[in-house]
Chains A and B, each alone.
Chain A
């Protein structure tokens, strides 16, 4: 499994590891008088699994929604940094070029997606009536032709494209071990499998950055272990940078390279898992050592 050579790179980023991939600067989000996020500054480095943790209502999902375009932040910016390259195709390997900075906050969600930011949702948001295969093929949407006339003609570009992109989708299916569910409608699948399909759909985008909103919520420890393994596979085999929101501290401490802790919309800790664990403010606010 680990040695299997995939033909397609699943990462859409060519930034060298360690470079800043996503920069959140002075981000604030208010709903009327409610301050969901206040002055958030985060650097996500390329090649990392970056966890965002915090108690319920700390603003984790709001932060993710600001990045992916579903919320418009009141103040501040989110910047995605990418190496300039040729046309984004199936294998986005290009010349090492200059680094291109794009402000993604306040863009429409589909435009953020086109820049290479993929995400999963806390409450599964799959296309229920479609098969696993169709759901993951939909992850390819940004790379497909949008011409309805070509589609209705079928023969020619439309058919060729279906076959070409199917090859990459099959690699995603293989990586996430979804083969046996391929043709089943996702609405009929179990919760754990649905979570995995959602991961696959996001991965099929060949994202520069993958945002995962509580991928292990509501799972038992065995399912959590599986999911952690898949996230590590995606990170190590496919080389995708991940921002992960998660409640389970054990998982977070085990798999992430860097952790940011939110409480009441503010950052109270940031660093390696060991540093965060040792931070007294984090211990007090989140780990509940006072109990």
Chain B
């Protein structure tokens, strides 16, 4: 086989072939490798690691949603936690109390979160940057307040117990719980990544990016800023609602503590570390941020003999690692993991030359 340095000399005979997502042999090989890894994962990992993988997949869907808004449209949102709560509570209540089948209630959660997102997106029509961040902080606070204080939601218990997921009469088993969830989540994450990618290779998505780069010029070429921004809030929070609903059914218990401002910041960290304005970046970031505390805990254990203080002060150590990571990314690679991965690919593409 010709070595992988074959991304040069790419010729297209039609626009359709140029628009394909995977054009070159290395791209196709990478996709096959990825597919194999995805299939092998549940066979080799134990329940502890599968649970982490599942958490990362749910986070990836939420991060894709946030990146649609922040990375692609340039509208800062601190309301991620609140919107996750809308998705989670909607789906949980629909299945548990109204008896709606889970797939339908998840779709309902997506639509309702999108609608709520569009309403809380209204300040974006007048505000930009930091001012918008503060306005979305209000949505975070308002939603979490409602979830905490509205007794009807949690029937006065402060939390909602969600029953075991049942899809088309098929109930998940106790023994293979995480493996079965993995299949569901992997499929949904792939679909979410594909739909988001599709959005940004068409006119609608391009108009979002136009608003991010130059909103005055965008209006001068005919982009209706009001409509485009509200659409971006809707689409973005549709993904976030999906993540929230999946979180509810996967963890089987939800309460307001899971949706605080910390969560919003964590998701912002994911897309910054992964790469703003990139679907793949959102996924890398979600995986990275989900596994970061796990690996810092392992590191602390490893260093236990040398520096027992790390294990004793584990929460502080985790926070320090988290903060340090964000700072390192902001300084050395503001475009995140996605850009690092692109650079690695470029290195091999041009090898043995430097550029």
Contact = CB atoms under 8 A, between A and B. Distances in A.
Contacts of A128: 213-214
Interface in B118-136: none
B203 interface: yes
A139 B203 contact: no
Interface stretch (B223-231, B288-296, B320-328): B223-231
Given A125-B216, A152-B195, A158-B202, A130 B221 contact: no
A45 B16 CA distance: 41
Contacts, number: 126
A205 interface: yes
A184 to B, nearest CB: 15
B220 A146 contact: no
B280 to A, nearest CB: 16
A113 B222 contact: yes
A154 B194 CA distance: 9
Interface stretch (A16-24, A54-62, A161-169): A161-169
B263 interface: no
Contact of A161 (B198, B203, B223): B203
A150 B217 CA distance: 25
Interface in B220-266: 220-225, 227, 231, 234-235
A141 B227 contact: no
A262 B91 CA distance: 64
Main SS of chain A's interface residues? helix
Contacts of A119: 220
A108 interface: yes
Contact of A162 (B19, B234, B277): B19
A192 interface: no
B199 A151 contact: yes
B206 A137 contact: yes
Contact-size category for A: 35 or more
Nearest to A165: B203
A150 to B, nearest CB: 8
Nearest to B224: A110
B283 interface: no
B199 A148 contact: yes
Given A137-B206, A138-B207, A154-B201, A121 B16 contact: no
B224 A138 contact: no
Given A118-B221, A140-B203, 14 more contacts: A110-B225, A113-B220, A114-B222, A121-B217, A125-B214, A127-B213, A129-B277, A130-B209, A134-B206, A138-B207, A142-B221, A148-B199, A151-B205, A163-B16
22 contacts: A110-B220, A121-B217, A125-B214, A125-B217, A126-B213, A127-B210, A127-B213, A127-B214, A129-B209, A138-B206, A138-B210, A141-B203, A141-B207, A146-B207, A146-B227, A146-B231, A152-B199, A158-B198, A161-B202, A163-B16, A201-B221, A205-B222
